[in-house]
Structure 1
Amino acid sequence: MSATIPPPTQTARSRLMVGVLAFCVLIVAVMQTLVIPLLPHVPALTHSTPTAASWLVTVTLLTGCVCTPVFGRIGDMYGKRKIVLTSMCLLTVGSVLCAVSSQIALLIAGRAFQGAALAIVPLGISIMRDELAPERVLRSVALMSSTLGIGATIGLPVTAVVIENFDWHTIFWASAAIGLLDIVLVLRFVPESSIRSHGRFDALGALGLSTALIALLLAVTQGADWGWLSAPTLALLATAVIIGLLWGLYELKAATPVVDLRVSARPAVLLTNIAALLIGFAFYANSLSTGQMVQEPRSTGYGLGASIVVSGLCLLPSGLAMVALSPVSARISAACGPKTTLALASVLLAVGYVVRLFTNRSLGLIIAGSTVVAAGTAIAYSALPALVIRAVPLAETGAANGLNTLMRSIGQACSSAVVAAVLANVTSVVGGRALPTLRAYQTVFLIAGAGAVLALTVTLCLPGRSGPAGETTAQGGGVRATAPAKKNA
């Protein structure tokens, strides 16, 4: 008789589910930074302008920020796996659009579809909370959340290598193929949760939130080009404030709001979201500045004249540090609580930027400082979802983590604007070109370090004792923050 292969155990299936969701988030994170090394070449490749090329990054940020809380809420109501699959389909369609064309309009449209897939982050966290035993949730969420930072760091060197050796469309064909693989893996290994929130989808609330976010992010990302006091920038900021206030008043009265502001206003949730914004700000400054700094010509007195590939590879140790530290972060949170973990992460981020202030002339020391920052980021990204999970009811996990992911993205957008403004305005003429001075980069590191210190301050103000995760209940509702034990986990 031929031997039969036994089916995987329930524990093995749950591990496969976690691995598949983490892989999906990794690919989504890579998409966020995929085109950054390509940007200087886009105008020539597409016969467009640098301003048009910059939209390949801006539009991804916009769609990601809009879709993350909205898709999170839809997933809570109608099925999280369905929306994960929808998000991966959008990523795949966007990748194909970018792969088949060199027209800037189609590339921007494709990047918009890719950005929508950021919603997978809160949806995956919510699925894990629904499907895993409580003692496994923290470790699994830490792994998946940290892949955001891992993907952001490996996307740069991977793209740089492809640009140097292959046709640039290759990166999009590869991302389309991986997107299809992710869809197959989700269909095979990720179950559909039976936990739902009730009521009708708040379409008007989703529209109001989207409009306010688009106005705010357009002002932040384009303000440096348009002028911070220009009429378009001020008009967008005013629009964001007015619509945001009207949206807030409406959401407070809505029966099933897209974002439950009463839950979001609880100190445990509000302060965690503020910390997420500050952590996102501090982390992204490191990614934006490292590659550019080592590529600056040696004639600047501090630049290393590195190639685009070398500058991308500088971030690989940061990605490896994130992989190594995500389980460590989960253990710290299990033993001491996620509040302590986030405080430790904020300290590491601040120390990393102190190191960066004094290590600007050696490639090895630059990598060391960047890796310390990445270590703090990995620990922070692992702790933030755990804090949210402890503070919200089970049926609102997707929407709540969607809002937290949104705050990270807004922090990254603000970081991008600040870094661009500093590097564009603190310059000296070298070889006939205006290049950032060493003081410009040091100013970036000081600002990012200050963001980390503010994150530490906010973290220390979080309510409650910093006990082991999973022991507290959501405030007000009496709902345990961790998912009930599952018979298959």
Structure 2
Amino acid sequence: MSTIPRDPATTESPGAVSESVDDTGRLDGASRGRIFAVLAVIVLFTEVAPMQYTIVAAALQKIAPTFPGVGANINWAIIVFGLIGAAASPLIGKMSDVWGKKRMFLVCGVLFMLGCLLDAVTSNWALFLIGRGLQATAIATAVIAYGLIRDLLPRKYVPLGLGITATGLGLSAIAGPLLGGFLVDNYSWRAIFWCLAGFTLLMLPLVWFVVPESKLRVPERIDILGAVLLSAGAGLTLIYLDKGHDWGWSRPTTLAWLVAGLALLALFVVIETRVSRPIMDMRLLFHPRVALVLAGALFASFLIGVQSYALGYMTQTPDQATVTAGVQQATLAQIQQQTGHPMPPEAVQVLLDPGYSYGNGYTLLEFAVRIALLQAVLAMLCGALAGVLARKIGARIPLIAALALFVGAGVCYAVLPHTWVVFLWVSAAFGIGFGFYYAAMPILMVEAVPQEQQGISLGMLGVMQSMGVAIGLAIVTAFLHASPMRALVTVAGQPAPPNPIPGIFGDRGYELGFWVAAGASALALLIALVMRHGRTPATGGTAY
């Protein structure tokens, strides 16, 4: 059984695994080229999950006609992926500690590829969701990758490796939006899954031959009951956060999902404190080094969820003049159809209530090139930079910088004009913070836990980040639906009943979402400021 984090000077517990004794297969004598080849293959393999998320989310409108009876539930193609991935990550992380990290890395890749092949050929909605569930196991590759890097890379390269792994080599962040836009605009949506399956098929032998297996094993059986309680509790809670608005937040049938999820998580904590071989040591989970990192991840992820949703939606919405003209033309056409006589355009006046100031009418590819690309490049570069800084000054300072940028970006999104130029530069600042944040968090977690608990601990980090994103999305969705857009039409001086315009919302809905996300980032910043963990240079996993 593992011990709680401790200072290096503390005498080691007899039950803890000592890396000075146990050989993990670290590449201490390998050339720099060999080391970075291993790192590159690991990172490229982990990028398949975020890359598919970007591409599949963009393709939902083209996927929907294949499943005509699904309607608005088409978004379950995204929800299922996130739910199963978040719920399964802690369990898969624990499996990698027990059975081998490279082995589980490859298992996740094979399951992802099978899911892609299933979705590429099926026209059955249930089978499509099963395919998405298989693909969701790829989310756990990031958790496993952090463990592989801690076990395999020489200590001095571990912070840099974690930073690069967190933000990637650009395949998902840069190529993902461009490839997604190209495939969505020019081919059948099935080409997406063939492409993803082909990429995975290419990467599997590279992982097999290039990446060595970690020799570290935790000699214990997996706590099945704890794994089920944790996965089910996290999954039910995330379902409530994802679907609460559609089902009604306060309806008893909706609240039942939240109550059941929280009850299972509470039961998980109670049971794990009493079993001899818990899936995660509760003393470790509630130790400040771990608990503060998890709390910071929860609050910081609010803005990640709001920004990723709102920015694409706002820029791809047509501007107000275009929507107004469209309503006017539709009204004129309806009048002519009903009366058989045309009416002059000036006889129809349209006012949007409450009106909005955003909207560029971009395609996905235009959004990727004009705004998302710069953010992605800066995030990728700053992830590596944060790894270097963590090695010199600790990961806490990059985290503080990231969260300060998050607060500033959230405020700027809320108060500055909603033009594409403002979005470009604010998202660039957010990209810098994003790179620092996603690099600093796993470094802090690796420094906080014993090596035999790294898989489950990093899995818990993924769960908290997923919950933060889901809460952020739920908040902005609630604000948007409280600020609906209506067309007030006057025909020859006579007002017509207000006409709701679906999919378009007032500025205030987005602005309130950004304000709440900025406030949550400020809470995360306060946590980072009081955090005692991460104030010394990162050691690559020997600081616990």
TM-score, normalization by structure 2: 0.82
Q: Runs of 5+ in structure 1 lacking a partner?
A: 1-7, 474-479, 483-489
Counterpart check, 1:310 vs 2:366: yes
Alignment of 1:64-463 (within 5 A): 64-147=85-168, 151=172, 155-299=176-320, 300-313=356-369, 314-430=371-487, 432=499, 433-434=501-502, 435-463=504-532
**Rounded Cα–Cα distance in structure 2 between residues aligned with 1:267 and 1:345:** 20
1:390 Cα deviation from its structure 2 partner: 1.2
Deviations 1:31-71 (A, max 9, x none): 23332222234332321333320110110011101111001
Q: Which has the higher helix share?
A: 1
- Long gaps (5+) in structure 2: 1-28, 321-355, 489-498
Question: Considering only aligned residues, what root-mean-square deviation do their CA atoms show, in Å?
Answer: 2.1
Q: Is the 8 A contact 2:285 2:291 kept in 1?
A: yes
- Cα gap change, 1:291 to 1:150, in 2 (>3 Å): farther
SS class of match (1:315): helix
Give how far 1:226 is off.
Answer: 0.5
> Partner amino acid for 1:202?
D
Q: Which amino acid aligns with 2:144?
A: L
Runs of 4+ deviating beyond 6 Å: none
Quickly say closer, same or farther: Cα 1:301–1:339, change in 2 above 3 A: closer
Q: In structure 1, how many angstroms separate the alpha carbons of the residues matched to 2:358 and 2:87?
A: 40
Q: 2:87 is aligned with what amino acid?
A: V
Paired amino acid for 1:17: V
Relative to 1, partners in 2 of residues 1:344 and 1:132: Cα closer, same or farther, differing over 3 Å? same
Q: Which residue of 2 aligns with 1:5?
A: none
CA apart distance, 1:129 = 0.6
Query: Equivalent residue of 2:73, what SS?
Result: helix
**SS of the residue aligned with 2:279?**
coil
Q: Does 1:20 align with 2:41?
A: yes
Measured at CA, do residues 175 and 296 of structure 1 come closer, stay the same or move farther in structure 2, by a change above 3 Å?
same
Tell me the amino acid that sits aligned with residue 213 of structure 1. A
Contact 1:61 1:413 survives alignment (8 Å) = no
Paired residue secondary structure (2:90)? helix
State the Cα distance separating 1:358 from its structure 2 match.
4.0
Contact 2:396-2:533 within 8 A present in 1 as well:
no
In the alignment, the residues of structure 2 paired with residue 219 and residue 267 of structure 1 have an alpha-carbon distance, to the nearest angstrom, of 28
SS in structure 2 opposite 1:220? helix
Does structure 2 conserve the Cα–Cα contact (< 8 Å) formed by 1:154 and 1:315?
no
Residues 62 and 189 in structure 2, CA contact (< 8 A), matched pair in contact too: no
SS in 2 for 1:47: coil
* Contact in 1 for aligned 2:389/2:395 (Cα 8 Å): yes
- Provide the rounded CA distance (Å) in 2 between the counterparts of 1:133 and 1:73: 23
Give aligned-pair identity as a percent.
26
Looking at structure 2, the residues matched to 291 and 46 of structure 1 have their Cα atoms a distance apart, in angstroms, of 25
TM score, norm. by length of structure 1: 0.91
- Please give the per-residue CA displacement for 1:50-102, whole angstroms capped at 9, x wherever unaligned: 33201101100111011110010010011011100011111101111111123
Instruction: Report the AA paired with residue 309 of structure 1.
Output: L
C-alpha distance in 2 between matches for 1:424 and 1:124: 39
CA–CA distance in structure 1, aligned partners of residues 470 and 169 of structure 2: 15
**Hey, what's the Cα distance between the residues in 2 that align with 1:465 and 1:160?**
40
What's the counterpart of residue 3 of structure 1? none
In structure 2, distance between residues paired with 1:111 and 1:219: 19
Match of 1:477 in 2: none
Deviation sequence 1:428-449 (CA, Å, 0-9, x none):
2148414211111211221221
* Change beyond 3 A, Cα 1:50–1:360: farther
What is the alpha-carbon distance in structure 1 between the residues aligned to residue 127 and residue 94 of structure 2? 29
Paired residue type of 1:372: A
Change (3 A) 1:214 1:85: same
Contact persistence 1:150–1:320 (CA under 8 A): no
Which string of whole-angstrom CA distances, capped at 9 and with x for unpartnered residues, describes residues 236-270 of structure 1? 11111222121111111222222222111110101
Is the Cα–Cα contact under 8 Å of residues 286 and 373 in structure 1 kept in the other structure? Answer: no
CA distance in 2, matches of 1:360, 1:100: 45
| Preserved CA contact (<8 Å) 2:358 2:419 | no
Q: Which has the larger radius of gyration?
A: 2
Preserved contact between residue 44 and residue 171 of structure 2 (Cα < 8 Å): no
Deviation at 1:409, TM superposition (A): 1.4
Cα–Cα, structure 1 residues 412 and 396, in superposed 2: closer, same or farther, change >3 Å?
Answer: same
Q: How many residues align?
A: 468
Contact 2:269 2:282 (8 Å CA) reproduced: yes
> Does structure 2 conserve the Cα–Cα contact (< 8 Å) formed by 1:272 and 1:387?
yes
Q: Distance in 1 between matches of 2:425 and 2:107?
A: 39
